[in-house]
Amino acid sequence: MKVQLAQVAGFCMGVRRAMDMALDAARTASKPVYTFGPLIHNPSAIELLERTGVHVLSEIPQKGKGTVIIRAHGIPPETKKRLADAGFFLVDATCPRVVKVQMLARHYSRKGYSCILVGDKGHPEVMGILGYAGEKGILVSCDEDLKTISPAGRYVILAQTTQDRERFSRWSKEIMKRYPGGRVFDTICDSTRRRQDEAARLAKASDLVVVVGGRSSANTKRLAEIVEEKGTACMAVETAEDLDRTRLSRYRKIGVTAGASTPNWVITTVVREIESIRSAKDPLFRQAVYRILRLFHEANLWTALAGAALALAASIMAPGIVSALSAGSIAFCSIFSMHTINRLMDMEHGSYNDPLRARFLKTHKVLFALLSTTALLLAHVLAWKVGNGSFLLLLALATSAVFYRVHILPAGLSIRSLRDLPGSKPLFISVTWGAVAVLVPSREAFPLPDADLVGLFMLASLAVFARSLFMEILDAQGDLIAGWETLTLLVGEKKTLRIIRMASVALAAIALVLTATGIIRHEALAFLLFAAWMYGLSHRMGHKRIRQNLRLEFLVEASFLVLPAAAFLIAILRT
């Protein structure tokens, strides 16, 4: 079964901003913290906010305390005043694009214009905009409304930001034809247009399209309508539990899109669940390959193999490193155990970044606790055979990795663990991988490593740094929920991709300088291929987002598998 995810799906800018503000308020604002009405129209997101201490306020009390977050849809100005008068501190998370429509409604209504709003009757955004228009507001939500409206004098036509563009255009022309002289403001959000265009494209390219989102979400409903208007089968679901697996198995090409209020972790789970369904038209071999790839992903085997490949490449590039088998085994066992133990220690965080992997590890947690402990012990035995220095270095690395998330310092401090250091995750992972792949399996690293090992350690760490930033981009939503100040959250996704490209260029430049000066062997030029791969992948992500964890992890980790092959080929050409 071929599954294609829409390039524009999930949280739009306004919803992401509102969620970010709500999660930040849960940590920093005066308690209790409320949203006035549901922040967004998605049960999974509302349930998450409840768990973080952000509750829904339905009625305005005479007196209140704490913080109230204005939802992304906005509210009427009278309601906002009542909340402030009741004693609440207000955090306005109204989408900036909705604010634009509100300000247009207020501006023109004050100048005596009638404000005709094309929108869905009873929708929170519509009620808020009409509140700014006051008595001058006129709602058009169906064809029947067109027959009854009669704007007095001058008027403007506005649109709910999530309205269908074709409908808005048709109704606006009809109104202008009957009542010439009005002004039309196309206030439909561009994200809505792109989302709808993508749904139409998916409908043409798919046998069935799954639309993921809350049942009360207007923009999600419209996506389903667009798919059905194109004559394509459609399945609307809120979560993966709503999927009709029997029905899906009858199709070969499945498209997936999602409303603007659908969290990434819900979309990811739906996509992966669909991918796991065996289509009646799919060959058994293809399904078997997919299941193997999925097992490698969920069991952290891809990550461990990438670390082993890095160590194997290092053993070809540096003569001081022990046999390729020993180096690869140390790296595989160490990286598998460290990553698995950390994921087992923080299952809730993982459930937002990669729900299916978290569920897999939770189901088999006893087995993987045993496997990771055994692998860690085996890695130390192999390191001890290399030398005492190697054993002690690996012990220090493993201890710091296992306790990376553990609170060491007392409560009340902003930094209580290594994890709390802003932007520390990719740096920590890159140094750990670099040391495990280069320094631990080398007899010449202690007490002081030679220049070639230091250079190779720098190259390996820089390569892993680029790799870790890719993973951090995918984990951004879960990191935000957990309150981690990661580099991606500090600087944003676009700047993170730019940093990956800068790291790739730096990696290539350092490899060229170190080999040209004879500090390291020419086999290290294999890092040029790795750098080109990472640069190209980051460039592609900047234009066409790779959303699935499984696919991105495979593409990133595969770059490490190429390293030893390239190094070996260079070694053969030099002989």
- Catalytic residue list: 125
Residue pair 20/52 in contact (Cβ under 8 Å)? The answer is no
Distance CA(533)–CA(540), nearest Å, equals 11
The DSSP element (H or E) to which 155 belongs, if any, is strand 155-159
Residue pair 292/246 in contact (Cβ under 8 Å)? The answer is no
Pairing of strands 33-36, 54-57: parallel
The rounded radius of gyration (Å) of the Cα atoms in the chain is 28
Supply φ then ψ for residue 174, to 5 degrees: -65, -45
Distance CA(429)–CA(369), nearest Å, equals 21
Quick one: tokens of 485?
A: 């100040």
Residue pair 349/486 in contact (Cβ under 8 Å)? The answer is no
Distance CA(173)–CA(184), nearest Å, equals 9
Sheet containing 54-57: which strands, arranged edge to edge? 54-57, 33-36, 67-70, 89-92
**Core vs surface per residue 199-231: b (16+ CB within 10 A) or e:** bbbbbeebbbbbbbbbeebbbbbbbbbbbeebe
Could you tell me which of 390, 300, 373, 379 has the C-alpha nearest to residue 336? 300
Distance CA(107)–CA(146), nearest Å, equals 24
Residue pair 92/115 in contact (Cβ under 8 Å)? The answer is no
Rounded to 10 degrees, what is the CA torsion of 378, 380, 382, 388? -160
Could you tell me which of 562, 555, 558, 2 has the C-alpha nearest to residue 274? 2
Distance CA(91)–CA(224), nearest Å, equals 33
Distance CA(341)–CA(382), nearest Å, equals 20
